[in-house]
């Protein structure tokens, strides 16, 4: 029987609550599909500061580096807000991403038919939307030098090397190859030289993937198209700044932050996490939506462990439960027949798996 090692980082706030449900679902699906998962738990964020005076202890880094994949909840909370920047929970996460060299952030935006009403956009616009945004994560304007500020002048540098563009472009084409074979690269090549290089390199890389239809859009047009006609997109490939903005915009297509998973991948171990934070306002109340964490576990199965049937079974189970009208409070206004707690939602998804 195949066996995998997953590093679990539950984190702070609702992190432990949602990761417990994701683990519940992983355990159930591994039995159905006959593989074994071993977990090692590590601390990161505020809880790690409390235990070690360090938001990312060495033991966590080493544990993550030897795992097959990492499943992470969320970190942060007001308790740690007054610490020096390098000791704050968020610094732990940024340092972990750096240690893992995860250069590609993958964020799917899938609109569940049952939750069409949950979006602020018209149902007929967003119905059947199924897209993924691939954002370059560790370069571009957030890291470019020189950068600085004085009283009269603030500046940053948006820079990409050919190598950095090539490696993220390859991830984009590989994702498109396993989907509907359409890749839209988003840049600002009409104004920025860095975007001109981006466009040239992406076009060059596309020659290795003749089956993929490549298009280009400027970021201003892409942000408009995304809410005008999101169904036109399959895979969107873009840089760090544009991706940061577009992925939040795409997130709003689906209605609740509690539904959205993500993956960060690179040369080493991949990190899977819901896009939401630690939600201190609802932590400990048992009402957090665990679906984003559960779908992050599904991405882990699909992209790292290649257990694609098990991943699909989780996605189907989530759909079935939503179809039955089961809702956590954040999505309670939309077709709810039964309001569930965090753990009830995990149980229901697990039951659907077992019967599936
Ligand atoms: P947040 O995502 O934690 O919460 C925003 C709102 O969404 C809150 O009202 C919250 O209750 C709700 N929400 C979030 N996840 C939910 C879920 N699964 N189910 C139901 N409702 C949910 O963002 P915030 O309030 O800006 O930040 C809170 C803390 O989280 C801060 O310390 C911040 O730094 C941290 N944070 C961490 C991450 C991360 O760990 N990756 C990401 C963003 C924010």
pLDDT tens digits for the chain (356 residues)?
Answer: 899 999 999 999 999 999 999 999 999 999 999 999 999 999 999 999 999 999 999 999 999 999 999 999 999 999 999 999 899 999 999 899 989 999 999 999 988 888 888 888 999 999 999 999 999 998 999 889 999 999 999 999 999 999 999 999 999 999 999 999 999 999 999 999 999 999 999 999 999 999 999 999 999 999 999 999 999 999 999 999 999 899 889 988 887 889 999 999 998 999 999 999 999 999 999 999 999 999 999 999 999 999 999 999 999 999 999 999 999 999 888 778 889 999 999 999 999 996 55
| Cα 286 to averaged position of ligand 1 atoms, centre (Å) | 15
Q: Which atom of ligand 1 is nearest to the CA of 329?
A: 20
Percentage helix, strand, coil for the chain under 3-state DSSP, each rounded to 5? 50, 20, 30
Q: How many CB atoms lie within 10 A of CB 341?
A: 16
Q: Which atom of ligand 1 is nearest to the CA of 73?
A: 40
Q: Cis check for the bond before 6: say yes or no (omega within 30 of 0).
A: no
Cβ–ligand 1 contact at 252 (below 6 Å): no
Cβ–ligand 1 contact at 275 (below 6 Å): no
| Cα 28 to averaged position of ligand 1 atoms, centre (Å) | 27
- Beta strand pairing status for 261-265 and 104-110? antiparallel
Cβ–ligand 1 contact at 76 (below 6 Å): yes
Q: Are 314 and 302 in contact (CB under 8 A)?
A: no
**Is 248 an active-site residue?**
yes
What's the pTM value of the predicted model, to 2 decimals?
0.91
**Domains of the chain with bracketed CATH:** 1-103+260-356 (3.40.718.10), 120-254 (3.40.718.10)
| Cα 137 to averaged position of ligand 1 atoms, centre (Å) | 20
Q: Which of these, 51, 63, 70, lies nearest to 12 by C-alpha position? A: 51
**Is 49 an active-site residue?**
no
Mutate to test the pocket of ligand 1, among 278, 295, 296, 345 (most ligand atoms within 8 A of CB): 278
| Cα 158 to averaged position of ligand 1 atoms, centre (Å) | 28
Q: Which atom of ligand 1 is nearest to the CA of 276?
A: 2
Cβ–ligand 1 contact at 314 (below 6 Å): no
Which residue in 27, 50, 81, 220 is the catalytic one? 220
Which residue in 142, 170, 182, 324 is the catalytic one? 142
Beta bridge partner(s), residue 185: 216, 237
Which residue in 187, 234, 244, 330 is the catalytic one? 244
Cβ–ligand 1 contact at 248 (below 6 Å): no
Q: Are 255 and 278 in contact (CB under 8 A)?
A: no
User: Which helix H or strand E contains 104, and what residues bound it?
Assistant: strand 104-110
**Is 155 an active-site residue?**
no
Residue 336 CA: distances (Å) to CA of 35, 187, 329:
34, 40, 9
Cβ–ligand 1 contact at 282 (below 6 Å): yes
Cβ–ligand 1 contact at 269 (below 6 Å): no
Question: Residues for the chain: how many in total?
Answer: 356
Q: How many CB atoms lie within 10 A of CB 42?
A: 22
**Is 4 an active-site residue?**
no
**Is 130 an active-site residue?**
no
d(CA 296, CA 23): 11
- Structure tokens belonging to residue 19: 């990761």
**Which residue's CA is the nearest one to ligand 1's atom 34?**
76
């Amino acid at each position: 029987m195949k066996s995998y090692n997953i590093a679990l980082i539950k984190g702070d706030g609702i992190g432990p609550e949602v990761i417990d449900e994701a683990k519940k679902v992983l355990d159930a699906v591994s039995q159905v599909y006959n593989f074994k998962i071993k977990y090692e738990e590590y601390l990161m964020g505020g809880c790690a500061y409390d235990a070690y005076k360090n938001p990312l202890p060495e033991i966590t880094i080493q544990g993550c580096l030897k795992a097959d994949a990492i499943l992470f909840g969320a970190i942060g909370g007001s308790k740690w807000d007054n610490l020096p920047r390098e000791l704050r929970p968020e610094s732990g996460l940024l340092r972990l991403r750096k240690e893992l060299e995860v250069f590609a952030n993958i964020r799917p935006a899938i609109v569940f038919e049952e939750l069409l009403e949950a979006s602020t956009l018209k149902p007929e616009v967003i119905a059947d939307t199924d897209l993924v945004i691939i954002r370059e994560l560790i370069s571009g304007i957030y890291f470019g030098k020189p950068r600085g500020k004085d009283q009269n002048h603030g500046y940053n540098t948006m820079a990409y090397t050919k190598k950095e563009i090539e490696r993220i472009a390859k991830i984009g084409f590989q994702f498109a190859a396993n989907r509907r074979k359409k890749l839209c690269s988003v840049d600002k090549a009409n104004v920025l030289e860095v975007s001109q290089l981006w466009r040239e390199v992406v076009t060059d890389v596309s020659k290795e993937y003749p089956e993929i239809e490549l298009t280009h859009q400027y970021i201003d047009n892409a942000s408009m198209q995304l809410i005008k006609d999101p169904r036109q997109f399959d895979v969107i490939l873009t840089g760090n700044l544009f991706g940061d903005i577009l992925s939040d915009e795409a997130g709003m297509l689906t209605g609740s932050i509690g539904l959205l998973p993500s993956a960060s991948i690179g040369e080493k171990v991949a990190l899977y996490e819901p896009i939401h934070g630690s939600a201190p306002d609802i932590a400990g109340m048992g009402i957090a939506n665990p679906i984003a964490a559960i779908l992050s576990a599904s991405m882990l199965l699909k992209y790292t462990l290649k257990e694609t049937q098990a991943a699909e079974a989780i996605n189907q189970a989530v759909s079935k439960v939503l179809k039955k009208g089961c809702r956590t409070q954040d999505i309670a206004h939309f077709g709810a027949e039964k309001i569930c707690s965090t753990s009830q939602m995990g149980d229901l998804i697990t039951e659907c798996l077992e019967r599936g």
